[in-house]
Amino acid sequence: MTLKDYAVFERIFSDALVIDIDFSLWDESVSMLVVAEHFKASGPASLVVSFCRVRRFCSQFNHYEVDFDDGHFQWRIDEIQPLAPVNGGAHSVRFIDRDTMPVTEIEFDDVLIREVEHTFLDRVTPGWSTPGGPLVRRGWLQMLQEESP
């Protein structure tokens, strides 16, 4: 990731909603699916940001003192901070927002960014974009409950 790439990161994470985190290929990459409000001049963009060869992934959750009146909050990121790598990775960043949002630090070797059409997300999980709506993928416990008689 070059300084030019870091400017892309700043555009993505200057105002982004995290709508999914994918650990399914954890031994190769950890991916965040985000809606980036300022990535394109034409409007929000849904992006898969894949952090390759992740050395460290840490999150601190700060929302337990907050009353969730409308189901749950959307996980928002509005700032990215560069960090010094400590575990041999090439890059390290911290994602933050207000006091109630998770603070996440990721150390990694490279990053891949891919745009995803909103129509695909609508097909996979209808209603994902409504305020207080679900993440794009249902959780395992939710799927098990739906399968139980």
- Mean predicted lDDT score pLDDT of the chain: 84
Other Cβ atoms closer than 10 A to 10: 13
For the chain (length 149 residues), average pLDDT per consecutive 10? Answer: 73 90 93 91 91 94 73 79 87 86 92 90 76 65 77
Question: Beta strands of the chain (E only): which ranges?
Answer: 16-22, 29-40, 43-52, 56-60, 75-77, 79-82, 91-96, 103-108, 110-116
Q: The whole model's pTM is what?
A: 0.84
44 touches 16 (CB < 8 A): no
pLDDT in tens, 56-98: 999 998 877 777 666 566 788 988 998 888 888 899 999 998 7
pLDDT of residue 28: 95
H helix or E strand, kind and range, residue 144: helix 140-147
